[in-house]
Amino acid sequence: MSKEIIIICLVIILIYLAYQQTQQKTLTIQPDNQRLQELTNQVQHYQTLYQKRVEKDIGSDSEQVKELQLNYLERLNNQTSQEKNKLTEYQPLLEQKIDDLGQQLIFTARQKIKNNKQAQELLAKLESTANIKTFQTRVKEDAETIENKEKKLEKIQNEIKDYQQLFTTKPLAEKAMELDEFYE
């Protein structure tokens, strides 16, 4: 029974604590209306001050912008008229330059046609020199292979000489005796 009383007391305490916490939250959530009204009034005051400042800055800036736009338009008109004058001055020179370049192109085309035979002869010479170079490399390769084969042949000849010396230095009778001793 005492356990049941303890459990009931604990449940009551928990309910009381939960109630206290919810009451504190609602108290902190409810702000002071007077303080809130004061803050909104200050925000509105600063907003109006900022708007007045921006309008003043824009008003003075707009006058400067208008002056700059007028100056820019005047400069642009002056530049375009100067450019038109330059174009009219340079137009005949440009046409003459184009004609000269066309004549030069025609002349170089004629020269290339004339030099076509010379180019073919030069190409034939170049091809023959290329053939000579490949022939030279082949000769070098063949010379190297011949040299290697000569070295091998020389080795074989030296070995043959060594065997011949063995057989010629000892008389045949001695060799026969050595063979007999070996087989006994």
Each residue's pLDDT tens digit, 104-143: 776 776 677 666 777 666 666 666 666 666 777 887 888 8
Lowest mean pLDDT among 58-67, 81-90, 92-101, 163-172: 163-172
Lowest mean pLDDT among 14-23, 69-78, 151-160: 69-78
Element (H, E) at 135: helix 116-169
Helices 33-114 and 116-169, axial angle in degrees (round to 10): 90
> What's the average model confidence in pLDDT over 5-18?
88
d(CA 130, CA 145): 23
pLDDT of residue 127: 67
pLDDT of residue 45: 92
How far is residue 146 CA from its own chain's centroid?
A: 52
